[in-house]
Amino acid sequence: MSKYSDIAQILKAEIERGSFGKAGKLPTEHELVIRFGVSRQTVRQAIGYLKHEGYIHQIQGSGTYVSSSDATKSPSGSKTIATICTYISNYIFPDIIRGIELELSGEGFTINLMQTENRVDKERAILEKIIGNGDVDGIIVEGTKTTLPNPNISLYRKIKEMGIPIVFLHGTYPELSDEVVVGMDDFQGGKALVKYLYKEGHKAIGGIFKSDDRQGLARYAGFSEGLLESGIGLNDASVRWYTTEDYIKRHKLIDGKDEVFDNLCGSTAVVCYNDEIAVWISRICKASSVPTPEIVSFDSSQFVMMLDRPFVSIGHRKELLGKTAARKILNMIAGKKEDSILMDWDTSVLS
């Protein structure tokens, strides 16, 4: 056998008979090459024909599936997207979730909203439930402590093997670097904030960043690059790191004010990881009768106006980010290939 059309007709008949089971997953190209004794190019032509005719679709990193199979819809037929956030009530996420809902509802999909509290044990429980039930069409997820080794990587891989596409918000894990990510260009943001402070006349610029997610690392990387390009140089003594546990137990940052100010000693301006941290820094300064440095931050949230002296904060594309993630997951469910995207921060406030 050598004609791709003959192979396509055989596979078409098998699809119509339900030969590929509930999962609807076709053999790999290599397996089809061996089965039919033809070249890989011939197999690809047959697959291309079936895809064009709407019999199959392909999911990047997972395989080729029958378009009418359970691989393209949840068993309940509910058209559900699992949306997993670290903190649902976090000041960023309500707008992101709204964007997701607006995009999905237009296509008849609903979201099943869950939160991990940035804990790997809760993330694991959610992923195991998804694997056990198999009742979602896709997953939009913010990873948990993405800079640390994660014991749940195998579960994400299992989900992909089930034919369920995944889109990560903000960043993914190093082990899953090929997965689709919709996030902000945190490097660009960190660099822009430093450049702004330098133009404002600051040369002693400190920073406080979150160490257990990739956003914090990228913002610090941009911060560092901004210092170097401005000719200021690097000074580890002007940088403070914190973790999720510090974030949860806020009193640590306040009770540990000596450590904070030791690390930010001499800084006339500080780049903060987000607006909430910016508010904490300002309040620590006020409570300690320490002159408040000029503060700049990320997210442009309601926290900016909570202080007597509002601080500068660049804008997160929250709703657009949610809509973009939702559109990508819908396209992936339809068998389209999607790539990652990092959006520029709204830096108009720096002009």
Residue 1 pLDDT greater than 60, yes or no? no
Least confident of 57-61, 66-70, 147-151, 214-218: 66-70
Indicate the residue type of 267. S
| Statement to judge: residues 219 and 128 lie in one domain | no
pLDDT of residue 73: 43
Q: Which residue has the higher pLDDT, 87 or 287?
A: 87
- Rounded to the nearest 10 degrees, the angle between the axes of helix 153-161 and helix 120-133 is 20
Structural domain that includes position 152 = 74-183+319-343
How much is the average pLDDT of 299-312? 84
> What's the whole-number mean pLDDT along residues 153-168?
92
70 or 297: which leads in pLDDT: 297
Mean pLDDT, residues 290-298: 90
Range ranked top by mean pLDDT from 7-16, 20-29, 299-308, 342-351: 342-351
Does 60 share its domain with 106?
no
What is the mean predicted confidence (pLDDT) over 300-309?
82
Residue 206 forms part of a structural domain: yes
The CATH number assigned to the domain holding 247 equals 3.40.50.2300
Provide mean pLDDT across the span 51-56.
81
What mean pLDDT is predicted for residues 319-342? 94
Average pLDDT over residues 165-189: 96
CATH number of the domain residue 65 falls in: 1.10.10.10
Confidence of residue 79 (pLDDT cuts 50, 70, 90): confident
Q: Is residue 303 part of a domain?
A: yes
Instruction: With beta carbons less than 8 A apart as the criterion, state whether 297 and 277 touch.
Output: yes
Half-sphere exposure of 104 (CA within 13 A, CB side): 27
26 φψ region: left (φ > 0), alpha (ψ -120 to 50), beta (else): beta
Last residue of a domain, one of 71, 95, 124: 71
Helix, strand, coil distribution of the chain in percent, nearest 5: 45, 20, 35
349 lies in some domain? no
Predicted TM-score (pTM) of this structure: 0.77
Please check the confidence at residue 347 and state whether its pLDDT lies above 50.
yes
Query: What confidence score (pLDDT) does residue 155 get?
Result: 96
The Cα–Cα gap between 31 and 225 comes to 48
Q: Look at 282 and 174; give whichever has higher pLDDT.
A: 174
Q: Answer yes or no: do 278 and 164 share one domain.
A: no
Cα(170)–Cα(152) distance, integer angstroms? 18
Residue with tokens 């540990």: 256
Integer Cα distance of 158 and 1 in angstroms: 35
Q: Does residue 87 lie within any of the structural domains?
A: yes
User: Is residue 170 one of the residues assigned to a domain?
Assistant: yes
Are 287 and 332 in the same domain? no
pLDDT score at 57: 83
Do 177 and 198 lie in one domain? The reply is: no
What is the C-alpha to C-alpha distance for residues 103 and 96, in angstroms, rounded to an integer? 11
Q: Are residues 237 and 265 in the same domain?
A: yes
pLDDT in tens, 198-255: 999 999 999 999 999 999 999 999 999 999 999 998 888 899 999 988 765 654 554 5
* 191 and 230 both lie in a single domain: yes
Domain membership flag for residue 350: no
- Are 231 and 177 contained in the same domain? no
Q: What is the mean pLDDT of residues 29-36?
A: 90
In a shared domain, residues 51 and 88: no
Task: Give the pLDDT of residue 346.
Answer: 97
Domain assignment present for residue 98? The answer is yes
Q: Are 154 and 246 in a shared domain?
A: no
Q: Is the pLDDT of residue 70 over 50?
A: no
Same domain, 177 and 324: yes
Q: Indicate the number of domains in the chain.
A: 3
| Residue at a domain's end among 71, 94, 120 | 71
Residue 23 has pLDDT above 80, yes or no: no
Any residues with CB less than 8 A from the CB of 110 and at least 6 apart, and which? 78, 79, 80, 81, 104
Is 116 part of a structural domain of the chain?
Answer: yes
Residues 285 and 210 in one domain: yes
